Chains A and B, each alone.
Chain A
């Protein structure tokens, strides 16, 4: 059967970053007028592959064909010229200018801009594609969902025939996500080809025609959505049934309350309400998992508990001592260990491993007013050995792999046997080995009797490690369930703000 050329075809794409291979000989083909999912775990290479297609990265090897023709895409400008548009996770919008200005940016043939005419053209495009936006609004005043619509219109306005959406629902409320799906179906029916990057199985099942799965940078396979199911896709994604770590005892030996939050509220960096009267407690010897869709207040909650963001109301206490709005130093002194979401924001990249390991408790490394460099080094050597870190004490920490950097942070916290551990996205971006190591360590700490708050967007991680699971949605705790009562469906509904 002579078939129509693919809308996009990528052949043998390989991309390396230093020693890491993000994509290895990946083939990918998108038919015209289909929605195809690009599925994979965090770090599987989905975004890298699409950034190559959009000209933000250059492939080390491999070719790209658009509509059957070899395309040399060296920058987004070339991609746009080939009819490829992309909506990235971090919106590529300029906040202080209008919607119209954002849409025509880099895409006007006239030097002199007639603003009224431009507004009208954008309004007309908004009607034609059935996506509502206000051309004259300043982007900085728009909600996340509205900004996403601006991004989509921006791509379509440039005559995109292929639209790449990078985890578009990660930032959306469920209704907004539904609305997006409706729009996508309409656009597909009118001939648009869509690549939908996701790691959420139910979405993939719901709106795609075909699914391509990537696993650690390699192609795991392409299947028709109608001929597969969530379980099979999950197996393709992960490449095995389960992870190697298991809780030794399901019920654990939970004791007293070690961490208590009472009606904690806080603002985000844009001074908008991020947390609304959050209350829960974590007991010794238990892991409380906090699940939720990205951006529902998890980061802010972690920061409040880490002492880097003030709360605007409520109380926090650890081990019976109040630590509401205390600084990091005081929080650590009450026996709280902190493993933050962003590794790079918690270590000084240009400093050595040894210095970073000592930094949180520098006063312990001073002798007669001077830094005790020998002790700093010896301390680092001990930890490096105990935690199997592949580094030397004097290596600058930025030269370490993500896994080793996380081990440094883990070592720095765990060596003090904290009674409470706040840990956020502990395995994000780590390879399988490092991930298992980190999870194993957390379970050991639970066994030791630490109270652990595990904040994670990785639902599998939550299900695997937690004794109880709390779900956060728009800055509020929806419910707290014992692990035995929690299943994916129920958690999924709660994460979308549906009380069950």
Chain B
């Protein structure tokens, strides 16, 4: 491979990395916010799925109805769907105090079932998959070599890295809400005694998290692909669960993890198209295996939020 080819390869790789990482950034930051409040939301896989479906369905139907901002309506639809699922999760785990992992898995199964049901309902059983014109990419640096292709990204990718990540950090560590959220996840009794409304805070964390997860899913359907298929999320929610633990519940480290995974994923894709015969599954299994390994190494000292998985009851 000569130099220019290599540069092209590298530039393509970086651009693809950011694109692949985008839904994971939304999802894992959503999960970080939820888990810091003491709730493991295993509904993430389903909420991303539902976000992808709702975003696509609303966008496609709005387009049919001749509405100009159909993609934005789609995004809004995704957010609403994510918030609804988060509220259901809140009802189960915060209000009723049910087992978080079983509830979360139930939410995932329910959200996936509802999406597939809804897809049939809205689009019927036609053999041609419906599609919409997705968000287009922004050419920030135009056709400039190197910078041009790297910065040719979707607006949602820019928002993820430039707005969401710093915002999430600020929210968690520099606002009274973030302080309350972390306290509620560490020691709800103490937060309650200090006058924090534990239930409201946990609901809010779930809702913010659910909205972000849904946006992550919608990014795939209404930005990257312009279509919806049953394989659209393909375990990305579980990857986010792994990233959050790997990142020890920190939004910045979770983003770094998402980028790392994005790079590995983009690399294997590129190597495959270049004709290398690789068991690409090995690359895809990396985030899971690395997380399990990291857990095994840190062991007991894994810095779980103190009230992880524990419902709060005031007697």
Contact = CB atoms under 8 A, between A and B. Distances in A.
Interface of A: 54, 56-57, 75-77, 80, 86, 88, 90-97, 101-102, 104-108, 110-113, 115, 154
Interface stretch (B16-24, B57-65, B172-180, B271-279): B172-180
26 contacts: A56-B314, A75-B197, A76-B192, A92-B189, A92-B190, A92-B192, A92-B193, A94-B182, A94-B183, A94-B187, A94-B190, A95-B306, A96-B186, A96-B306, A97-B183, A101-B179, A101-B183, A102-B194, A105-B190, A105-B196, A106-B180, A106-B196, A108-B176, A112-B174, A112-B175, A154-B194
A105 B175 contact: no
B306 A97 contact: no
Chain B at the A interface: SS class: helix
Contacts of A93: 187, 190
B195 A76 contact: yes
A111 B314 contact: no
Chain A at the B interface: SS class: loop
A54 B189 CA distance: 13
A56 B198 CA distance: 13
A56 to B, nearest CB: 7
Nearest to B315: A57
Given A91-B190, A113-B174, A77 B179 contact: no
A351 to B, nearest CB: 20
A101 B183 CA distance: 9
Interface string B187-210: 101111111110000000000000
Listed from nearest, the 7 A-B pairs whose CB atoms lie closest are A92-B193, A77-B195, A92-B190, A106-B194, A106-B195, A106-B196, A108-B176
Contacts of B192: 56, 75-76, 92
Contacts of A54: 193
B195 A107 contact: yes
Contact of A111 (B176, B182, B183, B306): B176
A104 B195 contact: no
A104 B174 CA distance: 12
Interface in B275-309: 306
Nearest to B188: A94
Interface centre among B174, B180, B187, B191 (most CB of A within 10 A): B187
Nearest to B307: A94
A426 B183 CA distance: 35
A210 B16 CA distance: 75
A129 to B, nearest CB: 18
Given A111-B175, A112-B174, A113-B174, A97 B186 contact: yes
Contact of B193 (A76, A111, A112, A115): A76
A101 to B, nearest CB: 6
B234 to A, nearest CB: 35
Contacts of A106: 180, 183, 191, 194-196
A8 to B, nearest CB: 18
Interface string B66-105: 0000000000000000000000000000000000000000
Nearest to B314: A56
